[in-house]
A and B are shown apart, each in its own frame.
Chain A
Amino acid sequence: MKYTVKLFATLRENRGKILEMEKSGKTSIREITEELGIKADDVAILLLNGRDAKLDDYPSDGDTISIFPPVGGG
């Protein structure tokens, strides 16, 4: 199955903006973020095809996952 992963802000460092990933079999978003070395703390907003998603959701072939890190300063 093929997934597009869109990364934002600091998550792009050493990874890039848009990643095309291919996995064999059912894969959770958590497994994808772990493979990319993204910690759960760094996942503030997680979208699956533009809709709010959870790390334990399973994307389908061709889906787009977008990940934004937390911004908390003032």
Chain B
Amino acid sequence: MDLRYARNIGTFTEAEMEALLSKKIGIVGCGGLGGYLIEIMARLGVSEMIVADKDVFDESNLNRQLLSDEKSLGLPKAEKAKNRVAEINSNIKVNHYVGEVNLKNGLEIFKGVDLILDGVDSIKARFVLQELAEKLDVPMIHGAIAGWYGQVTTVFPGDRTLDLIYPSDVPDVKGIETGLGNPSFTPALVASIQCSEAAKVLAGKGELLRKELLYIDTLNQEFEKIQLRP
């Protein structure tokens, strides 16, 4: 086992670590959540990563997006993500896509992945991801943030959990982040929990937040596990 993974052992057995190092993952969004998802998964170790984002960095990203810095303003986020992974862990093969992921291109871009991590910034885009993950027949690890609040759930094909956690009869619904913004600490927390879910899916251990939503309130430090049964 490569020395870089030595401190993963104990948390994971050597066999589980070998399993992680054979997996290919897709990360959609390289912004607030995405920056942390990419950093954490690159350090954890996987075989391949596909990262996608349509945007370039601007100054308003600097308060929270791990991949952003003053030198990167104007650079495509997905390109920066690829370069960052190469700096951390050059064993990982990374493909990047600069553009919006939809159902048509998504099937090609994310072909062969073992799971999709959600780092997108709208509810509408998340429904596209849920559909895409279902078509790819892989789990999607959903995370979302708004101010002091965040949520995580793991959606398997057929679960359609997002239908239960967003108002289904309101077209183009906006979340409370519209009024709250996003500070630096919430994406780090939510992305960490998403990556622990991803690691368990990939290594095949532990209990997942399946048909359950972890609703996080850091203003009151309340962590509410909501059972979701249609």
Instruction: Give A contacts to B, CB under 8 Å.
Output: 8-10, 40-45, 47, 50-52, 68-74
Flag B190-230 by CB within 8 Å of A: 1 or 0 each: 00000000000000000000000101010000001011111
User: Do most interface residues of chain A lie in helix, strand or loop, or is the interface mixed?
Assistant: mixed
Contact in complex: A74, B144 (CB < 8 Å): yes
Contact in complex: A44, B146 (CB < 8 Å): no
Give bound CA distance, A14 to B121, whole Å.
28
Nearest residue (CB) in A for B126 is A72
For chain B, the count of residues having a C-beta within 8 Å of the partner chain is: 45
Complex contacts, B119 vs chain A, CB 8 Å:
74
Instruction: Known A9-B176, A52-B229; judge A73-B167 contact (CB<8 A).
Output: no
Which of these binds chain A: B8-16, B25-33, B131-139? B25-33
Within 8 A of A (CB), among B119-159: 119-123, 126, 143-151
Complex contacts, A10 vs chain B, CB 8 Å:
147, 149, 176, 179-180
Contact in complex: B145, A44 (CB < 8 Å): no
Complex contacts, A69 vs chain B, CB 8 Å:
175-176
Nearest residue (CB) in B for A43 is B167
Give bound CA distance, A47 to B220, whole Å.
21
Contact in complex: A71, B226 (CB < 8 Å): no
